Structures are given as C-alpha cells and as structure tokens.
Amino acid sequence: MIVARLLEYAFLMPARTCSSCSACCTTLRIDSVSGLSTRFDTGEDLAKPAGVPCKYLGPQGCTIYEVRAAVCRRFQCDWKLGLKEFPEESPPLRVGYFGKNRHLFVI
C-alpha cells in the first residue's frame, strides 16, 4: 500500500518543505535496495527497521540531508504535499499520522 501511495504522489510537487517534524526518519522502514537506500556520497546502506531512528537524525533534522538516500528524497507525506486535511500547523509529528488514510505511527 505504501508503494501505491508513493506512485500516486510521484509527480506532485511539494507545497511545503520539511519542518523539524522528522517523523518519517523514525517511523518508516527502509529496505536495503541498491541505489535507493544508499547515501549518494559514500554508498553506505541506510536500511533500518520501522520505529528505529535513522542514525543520521540529529536535533535539527537530517545531518546528511544533501547526500541522503533516494528513498528519503522521494518520500512525500500528505502534510508536505499541502493536502487540505493537513493545515500548516499540523505536521505529522503533531497529529500522529502521515496521510489522509490515517497511516498511524507511534514515537
């Protein structure tokens, strides 16, 4: 289902930039896939289980933002896309879910 949602939004341009929310950096599972889960500079695999913070998540967000993996670059939560169900003041970390289908997470 997550793959279908990624494809559904693949061509939408984000209405917002990532905030200090960083819920996706902890909540989402990253499978090991060459070219998708690897850093652009070193090729280090960033695969991790769901619910585990990325080792590059710092107090201000991603510490390797410029060289983050393709899977991280491609992920668009509904808040970032500016969908009407998500007002500016309600990023995922505040409301506890990523999208209109209420993909819940716990941090």
Contacts of range 85-94, beta carbons closer than 8 Å, 24 or more positions apart: 88/16, 91/19, 91/21, 91/23, 92/21, 92/23, 92/24, 93/21, 93/22, 93/23, 94/21
Confidence category of residue 14, pLDDT binned at 50, 70, 90: low
By percentage, how much of the chain surpasses pLDDT 70?
A: 77
- Average pLDDT of 18-28? 84
Q: In this model, does residue 86 exceed pLDDT 50? A: yes
Tell me the whole-structure pTM to 2 decimals: 0.71
Q: In this model, does residue 53 exceed pLDDT 90? A: yes
pLDDT score recorded for residue 91: 79
